């Protein structure tokens, strides 16, 4: 019973995976201020390791990163996680082909950089409100 209560009261966990220090820091500050627990990875390989270890409720994932792209991270997560993870993909890429592929992989939202912080926060709140 106590374990269930702890699960319900623990803050939602968000994994940020991006190689841009400014974006990571601004997202970390904004999301922490809303009470979310934040984990940060600076490349795709770190992101995969943290996703496995920390079991986040939401992944905010950059598309273009060193070592492993956001697409490769997402493909692996989709193959290995029994419970689908909520994902917001962020990118400076304007191509529709990339957006289509991201949607095929099941991203919940797709935001173009630069994006308004309010837009991202609204997406995070919407996606996490449905996570038990």
What CATH number should be reported for the domain holding residue 115?
3.40.50.2300
Domain-embedded: residue 110: yes
Q: Is residue 7 part of a domain?
A: no
Reported pTM = 0.90
What confidence score (pLDDT) does residue 94 get?
Answer: 81
Tell me the residue range of the domain where 39 lies: 12-129
In a domain, 3, yes or no: no
Residue numbers in the chain where pLDDT is lower than 70? 1-8, 132
Query: Do the domain assignments include residue 98?
Result: yes
Give 38-45 contacts, CB < 8 A, sequence gap 24+. Answer: 38/13, 38/14, 39/13, 39/14, 39/15, 40/15, 40/16, 41/15, 41/16, 41/17, 42/17, 42/18, 43/17, 43/19, 43/67, 43/68, 44/17, 44/68, 44/69, 44/70, 44/72, 44/73
Question: Does 1 reside within a domain?
Answer: no
The pLDDT value recorded for residue 8 is 62
Count of the separate structural domains present in the chain: 1
Tokens (6 digits) for 100: 């289509």
Is 6 part of a structural domain of the chain?
no
Identify the pLDDT of residue 93. 85
């Amino acid at each position: 019973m106590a374990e269930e209560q702890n699960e319900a009261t623990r803050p939602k966990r968000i994994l940020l995976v991006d190689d841009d220090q400014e974006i990571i820091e601004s997202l970390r500050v904004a999301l922490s201020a809303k009470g979310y627990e934040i984990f940060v990875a600076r490349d795709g390989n770190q992101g995969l390791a943290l996703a496995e270890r920390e079991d986040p409720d939401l992944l905010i994932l950059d598309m273009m990163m060193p070592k492993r792209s956001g697409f490769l991270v997402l493909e692996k997560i989709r193959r290995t996680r029994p419970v689908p993870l909520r994902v917001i993909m962020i990118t400076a890429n304007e191509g529709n082909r990339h957006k289509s592929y991201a949607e095929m992989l099941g991203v919940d939202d797709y935001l173009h950089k630069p994006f308004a912080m309010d837009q991202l926060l609204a997406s995070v709140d919407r996606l996490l409100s449905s996570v038990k």
